Structure 1
Amino acid sequence: MESKIVREFFLNYFKERNHRIVPSSSLVPAQDPTLLFTNAGMNQFKEVFLGIEEREYKRATTCQKCLRAGGKHNDLENVGFTPRHHTFFEMLGNFSFGDYFKKEAIEFAWELSVKYYKISPDKIWVSVFEKDDEAYNIWHKIIGMPENKIIRLGEKDNFWAMGDIGPCGPCSELLFDLGDGAGCGKPDCTPEHDCGRFLEFWNLVFMEFSRDEKGTLKKLPKPSIDTGAGLERVTSILQKVKSNYETDLFLPIIDKIYKISNYKYGKDTEKDIAVRVLADHTRAVSFLISDGILPSNEGRGYVLRRIIRRAQRFGKNLNIKPPIIGRIYEEVKKIYEDIYPEIREREKEIKEISLSEEEKFERTLEIGLEKLDELFQRYKGDIIPGEEAFVLYDTFGIPYDFIEEISREKGFKIEKDGFDKELENQRKRSKIFQKFAPSYKEIYEKLSREIQVEFFGYENLNCLGTLKAIIKDNNLINYLNEGEEAELIFDKTTFYGESGGQVGDKGLIEGNGALFEVKDTLKNLNLIIHKGKLTKGVLKVGERYNLSVDKNLRKATERNHTGTHLLHYALRKILGKSVRQMGSLVEPERLRFDFAYQRQLTEEEIKKIEEEILEVILMDKKVNKEFLPIEEAKKRGALAFFEEKYGEIVRVVSIEEISSEFCGGTHLNTTGEIGILKIIKESSISAGVRRIEAITGFSALKEFQRKIEEIKEIKEELEVEEEKIIEKIRDLKEKNKELQKKLKKLYKEGTKNYILEKFGEINFIRQEVEDMTIEEMRSMVDEYKNKIKESVILVYKKEENKG
C-alpha cells in the first residue's frame, strides 16, 4: 500500500466515524513557549484538553507534521544509525474531547489495523498500563486478544502526562511482531525484552485523570482520547520492509542521492548511514524552512543550522559538495507537494537558504580545521583537552564526532569528560532552554478554566467590567491598596492584549473612588491581563469598574498596524510574491516588519515601495474586518502566518482590492487615516531575513519637522539658500581638500628650517612657527618624529599680549 493511501485511509476511516479532519498545524507550536517544535498530534489541541478552549466538534483526526531534534525530545544524533529514528516525521492521530473513551478507541484502532490495513492479527501484540484492568478486559474480552499477547507495563512505559500537573492517564500500545529474525532471536521473546523485535506503531492515550500539585490523581469529568500512529512505521509494516528508509517515503530521495553521489545504497555500512542522514535531514530542512524557520544561533534556528551542518558533514562521506540539500529537495517536493503545498511554494527559499548556510559552513570548516591543526602542534602527546575541543564545537560549529574522527586519524584522542562538562555548562546557560522553558504559571491555567473574558475592543474603547481576579506577586488577592502594582482580570474589557506583533493597550480603570493606571496589557491563554499601578483608592474583586483605553495611543498603533499590511502588499508587488512576513512589531511610535528576502533593497526599490503605499493611502480605501470560517478565508486568498494559531473561525482584515490577511489586531477604518508612511531604516537581521522600520501619521510629521529644522540650521550656518546647500557642501569639500594639500606642503617646508641641538645622545629640535593652529603644530611634531628618532621636539609660536 502506497504511503499516500495509508494516510488517506486513516483520515477517511475516522471521517466516516464523525471525526473532523483538521489540517496539520505548523512545526512552530502556536503560542506555546513550552515547546521548541510540534512533536505530537495533540499539540494543536493542548488547550482543548486543558479545558481552556472549546471547539465545535468533539472528535478530530489529523496527519500532523512533527519534528524531534531539540529540547526534551531530541532524536538528532540517532538519525542514520537506526532503521526508524527521524527528525521530521508524520503522526496520524484520532482524538476525542470528552466524547468516546477506551472501548471505542481500542475498537477503532483494531478495526482499522486488521480490517482496512489488513495487518495479520497474529502479528499484533498490545501493552497496557499495569493497573488498567479496564483496557486489559476490553482487549481480551471484546477484541479477543489472547492473554499471553497483552503485556502489562509500568508507569515509565505506559502512563502519559502532559506535565507535572494537569491531564494524564494510562496508555495502550499496539506492537507489530517483526518475526524471529529480528531482535534477540529468542523463541520466548516478548515486547518486555525491548530488543527491537516488536515495533510499536500506534499509541492510545486514555486521558482520564488530572494530577494536582501534591501528585494526587483525580478523575476528569469528561475523559478524552489522544492517539498517535507514526506514518513511517505503519507504512513500513504495510510495505513489508525492515526499515522506514525502504518505504516509498524515502526510496525516491535515496535514489536521488545515488544520482548525485554515484553511491548505490546498501553496499557500505558507513556510507549507508550517510545516505539515511541526508534523506532524513533534507526532509527536515525543507519543512522547517517552509514553516518560516531560518538558521540562527539560538532557538529553533539553531536546531535548523545544526541539521544542515550535520547533513553537510555526512555529505562529505559521499563526496557531495554544495548545493547538497537543494538538489535532494527536488524529490522531497515531489513526494509532499500535493499534501503540504508550502513545500512547493517555498522552493526558492529552501534552496537559497540551505545553500547559503552550506557555503558558510564550508568556510567555517576551513577555519576550524586550521585551529584543530594548531591543537595537534600544541599538544605533542596523544590527548586533546575536552575544553579545547569544545571551543571548536561551540565557536566554529564543528560537530564533535567530526573533531573526534580527524583527531583519531592524526593519532590523538579527545578528553571526553572535559568536553561533556563544558557541554553541560553550555546547556545550562543556553538560550534555547531559557527561551522555551515553561512559562504558563499554574495560576493562569487555573484562572483560564474559571474565567471567560469578552473582548469589546474592536468596536469600543470604553466598557464596564467586573473585576474577577487580582494577581500580586504571583498570588491571588481580593483587595488592592493605593500605591500597589498588580495584574487585573475582568470579565469584559476593551484593552487589547499584546499578540500578533501588536503591543498591548494603555489606559485607565476607574470606579468606586479608585483609579488604576494600565501600563501594559498582555494575553495569556484565553485571559487578558491588565498590568499597572493603583494610584488612588482600593480595588475589590467582584466590583464593577469602567475600563478606558488611551484613544490617542490606540489610534497611533492602528495607523502602524494597517501600515504593516500596506507595507507587506507593496513589498510583494515590488519585489515579488516570494516575499513573506517573518515577524512584526506594531506600537504607537513606529512599526517594524521582518520578511524573507535574500538581499539588501536598493534606494530605488525603497522609493517605489513608499510611493506604492502612498498611492493606496490617497485612495482612502476601506479596511474591512470580518470573521470567517478558516477554509472560506483561505479560498478568498487571505494570507496566514506560521507563528500564529488559528481556530475554525478566523478574523480577516482586508483592504479592498489590495490585500487580505488573517489578523486579530486593531485597525483603522480607511487607509487615508494613516496620513503618510515613511521608511526610516532597512537592514539585515539574519541570513535571508530583512527588516524594515517605518513611521506613520504624527510620528512621520515630527520626523519631517525635525529634518526641516536641521536643513534650516545648515542653511544658516552655510549662509546659502536651501537649493544651494549641496552645491555649497561640495565646494567646501573641494576647498578643504586643496587646503589639506597646501598644509601638507607647508608642514614639509616648515620642517626644513628647524634648529637641532644635541645633549649627549638626545636630539633636541625646536621650531618657531607663525599662523598655525594647535592641531597643525601637532601635525608638524609628527613629521619630525618620522624624520628623527629618539628626540625631544618643541614647536612653538609667539602671540601678542600673552606670556
Structure 2
Amino acid sequence: MKWMGLNEIREKYLEFFESKGHLRLPSFSLIPKDDNSLLLINSGMAPMKKYFTGEVTPPRRRVTTCQKCIRTGDIENVGITDRHGTFFEMLGNFSFGDYFKHEAIAWAWEFCTKVMEMPEDRLWVTIYLDDDEAFDIWTKEIGVSPDHIVRLGKEDNFWEHGSGPCGPCSEIYFDRGPEHGCGKPTCGVSCDCDRYVEFWNVVFSQFNCDGHGHYPPMEHPNIDTGMGLDRLACIMQNVDNMFLVDTAQNIMKTIGSIAHVEYGKDKQADISLRVITDHTRAATFMIGDGVMPSNEGRGYVLRRLLRRAARHGRLLGVHEPFLAKVAESVIHENKGAYPELEEKEAMILKLISVEEESFSRTIDQGSQLLDDIIAQNKDKVISGDDAFKLSDTYGFPIDLTKEIAAEHDMTVDEDTFQKRMQEQKERARAARKNAGADAWAGESDLLESVPETEFHGYTEKTVQAKVVAIVKDGKRAESVDAGDKIGLVLDKTTFYGESGGQVGDTGSISAEDAVLLVQDTTKNHAKNFIHHCTVQAGTIRVGDTVTAQPDWKRRESIMRNHTAAHLLQAALRRVLGTHVEQAGQLVNEEHVRFDFTHFAALTSEELQKVEDMVNDIILAAVPVKVREMPIDEAKKLGAMALFGEKYGKIVRVVSAGDFSKEFCGGTHVDNTAKLGLFKVISETSAAAGVRRIEAVTGRGVSRLLNQSLSVINRTAAALKLNNAADLPEHAEQVAAQLKQTENELEKEKSKLAAQKVEHLLANAKTAGSVRVCTAKVNGADAAALRTMCDQARSSADDLVAVFAGVNGAKANLAVAVGKQALKQGAHAGKIAKAVAQLAGGNGGGKPDFAMAGARDLSKLDTALQAAAGIVADMVK
C-alpha cells in the first residue's frame, strides 16, 4: 500500500463517491440543528436523522460527507491511553431510499482495493448472523473468500437505537499482521488485541422497529455508512494510533517545540502531549462552529477542554499562554477541508487566548491550595467543602479537582460538593426573588378564571374594551375609587405587556365617570395583560366599558429602539461572526441595551463598522415587514430565534429586507427610516463571554448631541478657552503638564524611599545566610510599599525586605527577596503568607516579590518581629 496523508485520504473518499452520483455536502456544524437530543454532533449520520425518517427531504437521494464529530464520554481517559479522543472525522456515504446492499457493498470493496490499494487477503468482513443476502453478495458478486467472512450476533452486527429505522450491518476489518496479535489460536476479527482493525461499517437500514420487538420491512430501505478517517489513516500510514497520524503529529510537534519535549521519550509527557493535541483540536473546531465558553452545556465542554489542555501545558513546564499557537497549527492542518477555520482564525485564537489567560489567573492559587489539601490529607478523600471552595473561589472545576486527586490515588466527596452547589443555587435564587419582589405576585392564581387578553396594539392606537378583573391589595375587587392603586385586566387592549426585553406601555384608561393613569403594563403566563394603574378620578367597576389609550409618543420611541436592536444584532453578526447571539436586552423609550455572546471588547473600528452598517440600513429606508407563519417556514427563511427560547408552531417574524430576520412578538416601526439615526453610547462587559452595547435612536440621538455640546462648551469655559475647537490640543497640554508633575513627585518619593531604606538596612537582622529588614510605615499605600521593596532589593542581593503599610484600620504587606537570598531558598510568596496569617490576613505571590493583607493591626508588630524566624527556617 502507498502511504497517504490524512487530507489526501479524505479527498479521495469524497471524490470517489461523487463519481458514483453522490452529492458532496460540507460537514454540518458541531452544534445540532433542531435536535435537543444531542449536545454536540457525535456521528456522521446524526445531522441527517430527519432525512432518514422522512421528516425532511434531502437535497439528493445519494449524499457523501466527511463529518466533524465530538464525543465527550471519555474526556477523563483522553491522554491516559493513545486510543481515546474527543474529536474525530467520520467519512460516510448515504442512500435515502435509493441504492441498497448490492451497490453499497460493491463500492466499499472497490474503494478499499482499487483506490486505497489494500491487499485483498488482508481484508476481513463481518455480517449479521442471519444476513444470507449480504453473504451471497460478498462471496458470489464481490468474490471475497468465505473464510474471510465472519457472522456475528445482534450485539455486534445489528444497528438499532430504540424505535425507528434499523437493520443489519457489514463491517470491514484490516489485518495488521501477526506481529500485532495476541498469539492465541482463537485470534480473529472479534479478538480484543490490536491485530484486526475495524474501520468501515455499512448499515443496511431495512426495518422499522416499533420498540416492542416487531421489525416490519421499510418500503424504501436506506444505506448509512461510517468510516473513521483517523482509523483509515492509521492503516494507510502503518501507525499504531491516531496520535501518530501525520496531521496529529504536526500539531504535536508544535506543542513539543514550545515545551521542548519529544513524543515517545517520557510516559507522563506523552499523556500531556496527547491531551493538548486532542483538546486543542476539538476546541478549535467547536469555536469555529460558534460554541462559546460558559458554565453549562456545550460551552462547559469547551471550557473544560481548554482548561484541561492548559493544565497539561503547565505539567510540561509551559507557564505562559500557548494554546493559541497550537490552535494555529490545527487551523493550518485542516483549513483545506474546513475553510471556515481560516475565515474565523482571528476570533478562534483570540477566544482561546482570553480563556487560557482567565484560567491562568486562578489556577496558580487553586493549585497551591489543592496541593496543600493533598499534602495534609490522610484519609485519601478531598472533602466536598474543599472541592466547593476550589470551584467557588478559585474557578477550579470539579472535574479538574477529581482528575488531580486521582493522580494522587485520592477521591473527592462529590455528594457534599453537590450539596454545597445546590445550597449556593438556592441562596442565589432567594436573593433574586427578594431583589425583584413583585407587588403583583400571585396574580396568575387570582386571575385563573379570566380569559386571555386580546392584543390589538400591533395595528391600533386605542380600543374600546370591557373591564374583566380588578386586583387591589393582592385580592380581586368588584370596584375601586379615586386614589386606589390597582391591577386592571381588560378583555382587549392596545397596551403592550412587558416581555421579550421590551418594557410595558404607559398611558391612560378612561370611562364615563373615571380616569386611570397607567404606570406600567405586564403580562402573566395566562396571557392576561395587567394594567398597573392609579385611579385619578371617579369609580371603576368590573363590567365597565373603557377606552384604552397608550402614550403613543413614548411607544414610538420604544418601537424605534426595538427595531434598532434587531438591526444591531444583524450588524454584529456580520462584523464579528455568527457566534453572536442575543443574551438579553432591554428596550425602552430612552435607549436600547443589547447583551450578546462575544469573547472580547470590540475595537473602535469594529464599533464604527457596526454603527455605520445600522445607519446605512436606516438611511436606505428599508420597509419593516411582520408576518406570522409556521415555525419550520420561518427557519427556512433564515429567521433568527432566541437561543433556548420555546416557540409554538406559529411564530411572528419581523424582517428588515434581507438584512435582518428575527422571531419577535414586540412592536416595531414600519420603515427603518423612522429610526432617524443610530448612535452607540457604550460597549462594556455584562458577564463572562457576554458584551453589552447601549445605543440611542431618534430623539435620543438629539438629546445625546445636545448633552455632548453642553459638556464641551462648559469644559472649554472652565479652561478659559474662547473656541471649543481648541479643547483637544489644550487638554493634551494640561495632561502633559500633569504627567511631568507626577514624574517629579515619583522621583521625590523614590528619593525618600531610598533614604528610608538606607536607614532600615543599617538595622537589618541576620537570619541564617541572609539579612532580614522589617518596617511598619504609616500612610504608605501599595504603590509606596512596592517602591520601597524595589529600592531594598536593588540595594543588597542577600536581603529579604518585609514592609507593612498602615492606612486606617487596614494594612498591606509587601515582601521583596534579593537574588542571592532567592538562591538560599527565601520565597517572597510564602513569607508574605506566613507573616500575614499571624496578623489575621492572607496573601502570596512570586518568589521574588509578593503582597498580602493584614486585618488585625494589634498583631502586626508581633507578625513583623516573627519575619526573621520565618526566613531563617526557610533558607539553606
What interval of TM-score do these two structures reach, taking the shorter chain for normalisation?
0.5 to 0.7
1:84/1:233 contact within 8 Å kept? no
Alignment-mate amino acid for residue 42 of structure 1:
M
Classify 1:688/1:401 alpha carbon distance in 2 versus 1 (closer, same or farther; 3 Å): closer
Deviation by residue 1:483-504 (Cα, 9 ceiling, x = unmatched) = xxxxxxxxxxxxxxxxxx999x
1:86 and 2:85 equivalent? Answer: yes
Deviation by residue 1:769-802 (Cα, 9 ceiling, x = unmatched) = xxxxxxxxxxxxxxxxxxxxxxxxxxxxxxxxxx
**Which residue of structure 1 lines up, in the alignment, with residue 350 of structure 2?**
352
Classify 1:584/1:393 alpha carbon distance in 2 versus 1 (closer, same or farther; 3 Å): closer
**Which residue of structure 2 lines up, in the alignment, with residue 466 of structure 1?**
none
**Which residue of structure 2 lines up, in the alignment, with residue 384 of structure 1?**
381
Classify 1:561/1:92 alpha carbon distance in 2 versus 1 (closer, same or farther; 3 Å): farther
Q: Distance in 2 between matches of 1:405 and 1:723?
A: 60
Greater mean alpha carbon deviation, residues 294-303 or residues 149-158:
149-158
**Which residue of structure 2 lines up, in the alignment, with residue 119 of structure 1?**
118
Alignment-mate amino acid for residue 568 of structure 2:
L
Q: Distance in 2 between matches of 1:668 and 1:208?
A: 54
Q: Distance in 2 between matches of 1:272 and 1:605?
A: 42
- How far did 1:690 drift? 1.6
Q: Distance in 1 between matches of 2:163 and 2:286?
A: 31
Q: Distance in 2 between matches of 1:662 and 1:340?
A: 27
Q: Distance in 2 between matches of 1:339 and 1:108?
A: 23
Deviation by residue 1:353-394 (Cα, 9 ceiling, x = unmatched) = 222222222232223234335535764x34334535643675
**Which residue of structure 1 lines up, in the alignment, with residue 297 of structure 2?**
299
Q: Distance in 1 between matches of 2:61 and 2:157?
A: 25
1:690 and 2:709 equivalent? Answer: no
Classify 1:420/1:39 alpha carbon distance in 2 versus 1 (closer, same or farther; 3 Å): farther
SS of residue paired to 1:11: helix
Alignment-mate amino acid for residue 43 of structure 1:
A
Aligned ranges for residues 360-371 of structure 1 at < 5 Å? 360-371=358-369
Q: Distance in 2 between matches of 1:422 and 1:673?
A: 55
Deviation by residue 1:554-573 (Cα, 9 ceiling, x = unmatched) = 99999778645632565589
**Which residue of structure 2 lines up, in the alignment, with residue 594 of structure 1?**
596
Match of 2:58 among 38, 41, 55: 55
**Which residue of structure 2 lines up, in the alignment, with residue 100 of structure 1?**
99
Alignment-mate amino acid for residue 214 of structure 1:
H
2:248/2:277 contact within 8 Å kept? yes
1:414 and 2:410 equivalent? Answer: yes
- How far did 1:343 drift? 1.2
Classify 1:257/1:244 alpha carbon distance in 2 versus 1 (closer, same or farther; 3 Å): same
SS of residue paired to 1:175: strand
**Which residue of structure 2 lines up, in the alignment, with residue 153 of structure 1?**
152
Deviation by residue 1:155-204 (Cα, 9 ceiling, x = unmatched) = 3332223x422222222211112222224232431122223322121111
1:41 and 2:14 equivalent? Answer: no
1:124/1:177 contact within 8 Å kept? yes
Alignment-mate amino acid for residue 619 of structure 1:
A
Match of 1:6 among 5, 9, 23: 9
**Which residue of structure 1 lines up, in the alignment, with residue 672 of structure 2?**
671
Classify 1:192/1:373 alpha carbon distance in 2 versus 1 (closer, same or farther; 3 Å): closer
Q: Distance in 2 between matches of 1:556 and 1:188?
A: 80
- How far did 1:609 drift? 5.5
- How far did 1:140 drift? 2.9
SS of residue paired to 1:181: helix
Q: Distance in 2 between matches of 1:357 and 1:622?
A: 41
Aligned ranges for residues 545-556 of structure 1 at < 5 Å? none
Greater mean alpha carbon deviation, residues 148-157 or residues 616-625:
616-625
2:294/2:689 contact within 8 Å kept? no
- How far did 1:583 drift? 3.9
SS of residue paired to 1:53: coil
Q: Distance in 2 between matches of 1:325 and 1:424?
A: 34
Greater mean alpha carbon deviation, residues 140-149 or residues 669-678:
669-678
SS of residue paired to 1:41: coil
The higher-RCO structure (CA 8 Å, 6+ apart) is: 1
Q: Distance in 2 between matches of 1:197 and 1:597?
A: 46
- How far did 1:399 drift? 6.8
SS of residue paired to 2:580: strand
Q: Distance in 2 between matches of 1:159 and 1:255?
A: 41
Alignment-mate amino acid for residue 618 of structure 1:
L
State the superposition RMSD in angstroms: 4.9
Deviation by residue 1:212-242 (Cα, 9 ceiling, x = unmatched) = 2534322221111111111111111112222
Q: Distance in 2 between matches of 1:196 and 1:137?
A: 29
**Which residue of structure 2 lines up, in the alignment, with residue 581 of structure 1?**
580
1:294/1:687 contact within 8 Å kept? no
Match of 2:288 among 284, 287, 290: 290
1:256/1:331 contact within 8 Å kept? yes
Aligned ranges for residues 763-802 of structure 1 at < 5 Å? none
Segments of 5+ residues of structure 2 without an aligned counterpart are: 426-457, 460-499, 503-521, 529-551, 627-637, 645-652, 719-876
1:261/1:319 contact within 8 Å kept? yes
SS of residue paired to 2:206: strand
Q: Distance in 1 between matches of 2:162 and 2:176?
A: 35
Deviation by residue 1:418-471 (Cα, 9 ceiling, x = unmatched) = 4489679999x99xxxxxxxxxxxxxxxxxxxxxxxxxxxxx99xxxxxxxxxx
Aligned ranges for residues 549-564 of structure 1 at < 5 Å? 563-564=564-565
SS of residue paired to 1:249: helix
Deviation by residue 1:226-267 (Cα, 9 ceiling, x = unmatched) = 111111111111122222222222121122122111112111
Classify 1:378/1:188 alpha carbon distance in 2 versus 1 (closer, same or farther; 3 Å): closer
**Which residue of structure 1 lines up, in the alignment, with residue 71 of structure 2?**
68
Q: Distance in 1 between matches of 2:164 and 2:406?
A: 49
2:601/2:683 contact within 8 Å kept? no
The count of aligned residue pairs is 571
Alignment-mate amino acid for residue 414 of structure 1:
M
Deviation by residue 1:78-113 (Cα, 9 ceiling, x = unmatched) = 322333432111111101001111221111111111
Q: Distance in 2 between matches of 1:617 and 1:305?
A: 39
**Which residue of structure 2 lines up, in the alignment, with residue 179 of structure 1?**
177
SS of residue paired to 1:89: strand
- How far did 1:532 drift? 8.4
Alignment-mate amino acid for residue 36 of structure 1:
L
Match of 2:217 among 207, 216, 219: 219
Segments of 5+ residues of structure 1 without an aligned counterpart are: 431-459, 462-500, 504-518, 521-530, 534-551, 626-637, 645-651, 712-721, 732-803
- How far did 1:273 drift? 1.9
Q: Distance in 2 between matches of 1:46 and 1:555?
A: 46
Q: Distance in 1 between matches of 2:214 and 2:223?
A: 21
Q: Distance in 1 between matches of 2:642 and 2:158?
A: 32
Match of 2:306 among 297, 308, 313: 308
- How far did 1:150 drift? 2.3
1:126/1:150 contact within 8 Å kept? yes
Classify 1:250/1:362 alpha carbon distance in 2 versus 1 (closer, same or farther; 3 Å): same
Q: Distance in 1 between matches of 2:663 and 2:608?
A: 30
Alignment-mate amino acid for residue 262 of structure 2:
K
**Which residue of structure 2 lines up, in the alignment, with residue 109 of structure 1?**
108
Aligned ranges for residues 695-714 of structure 1 at < 5 Å? none
Classify 1:394/1:593 alpha carbon distance in 2 versus 1 (closer, same or farther; 3 Å): closer
Deviation by residue 1:708-754 (Cα, 9 ceiling, x = unmatched) = 9xx9xxxxxxxxxx989x99xxx9xxxxxxxxxxxxxxxxxxxxxxx
Q: Distance in 1 between matches of 2:20 and 2:663?
A: 34
**Which residue of structure 2 lines up, in the alignment, with residue 195 of structure 1?**
193
- How far did 1:19 drift? 0.7
- How far did 1:272 drift? 1.5
SS of residue paired to 1:245: helix
SS of residue paired to 2:21: coil
Q: Distance in 1 between matches of 2:642 and 2:251?
A: 26
Q: Distance in 2 between matches of 1:566 and 1:58?
A: 38
Aligned ranges for residues 388-407 of structure 1 at < 5 Å? 388=385, 390-391=387-388, 395=392, 396=394, 398=396
1:65/1:91 contact within 8 Å kept? yes
1:296/1:686 contact within 8 Å kept? no
- How far did 1:61 drift? 0.4
Alignment-mate amino acid for residue 271 of structure 2:
I
